[in-house]
Amino acid sequence: MKHELEARLEDRCVAKVEALRGMALKLSIPGMRGFPDRLVFLAGCRVWAPEFKRLKTGRASAQQYEWQRRLSAVGVNMVFINTDAQFDEILEKEMGR
């Protein structure tokens, strides 16, 4: 069985955020590897950073773990996501903060 591409999962998750009138911005920072796929902004100044990974085969890099540490230090939750259900769970949790 072929595992779903990260891009399809990411597209569905972005649509969910936008349906809630939030923003899921994709940023590219030249020279900075490992930055998360999106920064999600929700009402009430809540910001979090999903990094999408292919189910079973997607692995986080050392640079991504470093970004997770750095973002956590300033209060931004960076999470690794590989299923719709996992995204929904985290989205609900982030909205309840």
62-80 pLDDT per residue, tens: 999 999 999 999 999 999 9
Each residue of 7-47: pLDDT tens digit? 889 999 999 999 999 999 999 889 989 999 999 999 887 89
The whole-model pTM stands at 0.84
Closest listed residue to residue 37, CA positions, set 69, 9, 57, 62: 9
Residue 55 pLDDT: 77
CATH classification of 6-95, choosing from 3.40.1350.10, 3.40.50.10490, 3.30.56.10, 3.40.50.2300? 3.40.1350.10
Question: Which residues are CB-neighbours of 74 under 8 A, at least 6 positions away?
Answer: none
CB 16 within 8 A of CB 68: no
Per-residue pLDDT, averaged over 37-64, amounts to 89
